[in-house]
């Protein structure tokens, strides 16, 4: 397996998945022209990656300024995969980062968290 | 022409319209106009929360038109044509969108929108979460939750209308108030 890096554009986030640190991030805006095409390789990477995991601590930092409704769907699917893996004993944490003043983004985080019983999902405001 | 344009601009001003686009919708339009819209709202010192809602509704409306025209390939040219209007009236912003729709698809859309009109915020939230968990319908380029997203950001029930053009298509409009 290799690291996954995708540069951000105006409508797609930066993807920075790093196998050496197990610290991964998705940062920026997400309203792609075709959401499922954009996220497909990211899902493939994640599915392969989770197979390789044992007990190491894994962190996914999600810091999105804006995401559209189809990205919200995709994020839910992604968190469901993490939730399932956590249930099976993998050590995954999601850090949901929002701007201190952005209450809507904080609420989005809380709505995801409500549906993820097994995953460690931390909502943090950016300092 | 200049005279007419000026008149057109006056009508827009009278209606409180601050931003409008009419023509073929594309992803470049979403990105380009979206970023102009954000800058304009910032210049006008619109609060960040309101500005984020307006931007989000703008994106959902335009992407709806684009995705709709993509799944209806036979009518692609006509179907990607749309209009989006953002204005301010009595201290509230409105975002209206319009596009052609095939007559045989009106009933389903109408039923979905009536359902959303009748829901309160908590019901909309639960419905949104439920739909988000479901797989997206086949042939849908979007997640099918764009209208719920818009309804959740609206301070009043969504308004919509279908106006018949011919035996084949109608003009669909939707308005969201923030």
CATH assignment at residue B105: 3.30.565.10
Residue B4 lies in a domain: no
pLDDT at A101 (0 to 100): 87
Q: What is the mean pLDDT of residues A15-30?
A: 98
Structure tokens that stand for B112 in this block: 């979905």
Domain holding B112, by residue range, is 19-177
**For chain A, which residues lie within 8 Å of any Cβ of chain B, measuring from their own Cβ?**
10-11, 31, 33-36, 66, 68-70, 72-74, 76, 80, 101-104, 111, 114-115
Domain holding A44, by residue range, is 4-126
> If you search the block for the tokens 């995969």, which residue do you land on?
A81
Q: What is the pTM of this model?
A: 0.92
- On whether any CB of chain A is under 8 Å from the CB of B141, the answer is yes
pLDDT at B134 (0 to 100): 79
> If you search the block for the tokens 């991030």, which residue do you land on?
A25
Q: What percent of chain B has pLDDT over 90?
A: 70
Residue B146 lies in a domain: yes
Q: Which residues of chain B have pLDDT under 70?
A: 1, 70-79, 135-143
pLDDT per residue over A63-102, tens digit each? 999 999 999 999 999 999 999 999 999 999 999 999 998 8
- On whether any CB of chain A is under 8 Å from the CB of B178, the answer is no
Number of domains in chain B: 1
The helix, strand and coil proportions of chain A, stated in percent and rounded to the nearest 5, come to 40, 30, 30
Residues on chain A touching B132 (C-beta within 8 angstroms)? 72-73, 76
Given the cut 0.85, state whether the ipTM is greater than it. Answer: yes
Tell me if B143 and A66 make a contact (CB, 8 A cut-off).
no
């Amino acid at each position: 397996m290799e690291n996954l890096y995708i540069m951000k554009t105006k409508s797609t986030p930066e993807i920075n998945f790093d196998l050496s640190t197990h610290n991964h991030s998705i940062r920026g805006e997400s309203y792609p022209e075709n959401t499922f095409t954009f996220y497909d390789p990211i899902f493939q990477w994640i599915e392969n990656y989770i197979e390789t995991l044992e007990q190491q601590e894994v962190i996914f930092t999600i810091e999105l300024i804006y995401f559209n409704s189809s990205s919200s769907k995709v994020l839910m699917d992604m968190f469901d995969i993490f939730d399932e893996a956590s249930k099976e004993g993998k050590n995954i944490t999601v850090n949901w980062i929002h701007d201190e003043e952005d209450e809507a983004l904080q609420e989005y985080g809380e709505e995801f968290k409500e549906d993820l019983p097994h995953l460690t999902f931390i909502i943090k405001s950016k300092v | 022409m200049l005279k007419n344009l000026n008149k057109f601009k006056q009508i827009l001003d009278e209606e409180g319209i601050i931003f409008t686009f009419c023509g073929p919708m594309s992803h470049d339009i979403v990105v380009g106009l979206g970023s102009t819209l954000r800058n304009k709202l910032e210049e006008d010192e619109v609060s960040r929360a309101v500005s984020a809602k307006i931007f989000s509704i703008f994106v959902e409306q335009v992407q709806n038109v684009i995705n709709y025209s993509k799944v209806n390939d036979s009518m692609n040219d006509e179907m990607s044509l749309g209009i989006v209007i953002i204005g301010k009236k009595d201290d509230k912003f409105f975002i209206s969108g319009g596009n052609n729709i095939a007559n045989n698809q009106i009933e389903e859309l109408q039923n979905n929108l009536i359902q959303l009109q009748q829901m309160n915020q908590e019901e909309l939230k639960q419905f949104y979460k439920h739909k988000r968990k479901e797989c997206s319908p086949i042939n849908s380029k979007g997640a099918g939750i764009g209208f719920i997203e818009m309804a959740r950001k609206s301070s009043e029930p969504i308004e919509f209308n279908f106006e018949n053009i011919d035996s084949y298509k109608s003009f669909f409009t939707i308005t969201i108030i923030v």
